[in-house]
Amino acid sequence: MTIDDFATLLDRDRLPDRLELVQTSPAWVEDEDWIRVRDQIDSLIFSQFLFDKPLSVRRIVFLEPPEGEQGRSAAEHRSWVGGLIRDLFFLTMPSRGAEAPYQIRQLVRNPRATGPQTLVSDGWSDQTNDPWSEAFASTWAAPGCIENNLTPPDYPVGPVGDRDPRWYLWH
């Protein structure tokens, strides 16, 4: 799928009630155009849930940044995945379990693999019986596709330093 195919999701009127989405290409944290579309997709999904629209989202993103833990793409990856978890926290919805309306799983990459590293290619679908959806279902159930394990923020007001600026004496 090209970035234009993902951009078609951004038309709010056409956002399906049921959405499966895979974003495991390094371009999602490296390419400015892809990052822009990625952000818009994130905002759109968030706002749909905030507006209480009937929606079910299952989403696969990668667990580790493509170029290791250092560098710009790693920072972009941390920011992205951390933000997704924050969105889930803001929305006060369960993110695990079959009934959760917005589920995110993270795909573990195999660094020694030479061929395609995911069973399903990047893309999105609102269908249940097309080949891509079937590949999505098997990837979703694979052991290397894990439920997100990031800790959500536990301070609902905001950063500690906002309320007690002395926090920055030591941090």
Which lies closer to other proteins via its Cβ, residue 87 or residue 122? 87
Which lies closer to other proteins via its Cβ, residue 82 or residue 144? 82
Which lies closer to other proteins via its Cβ, residue 18 or residue 72? 72
Q: What is the DSSP string of 18-52?
A: EEEEEE-STHHHH-HHHHHHHHHHHHHHHHHHHTT
Which spans of this chain sit near other proteins (rule: CB under 8 A)?
A: 35-36, 38-44, 46-47, 50-52, 72, 79-80, 83-84, 86-87, 89-93, 153, 156-159, 161-166, 168-169
Minimum distance, C-beta of residue 17 to other proteins, in the bound complex (Å): 19
Minimum distance, C-beta of residue 71 to other proteins, in the bound complex (Å): 8
Minimum distance, C-beta of residue 138 to other proteins, in the bound complex (Å): 28
Q: How many CA atoms lie within 13 A of 138 on its CB side?
A: 10
Which lies closer to other proteins via its Cβ, residue 81 or residue 107? 81
Minimum distance, C-beta of residue 118 to other proteins, in the bound complex (Å): 23
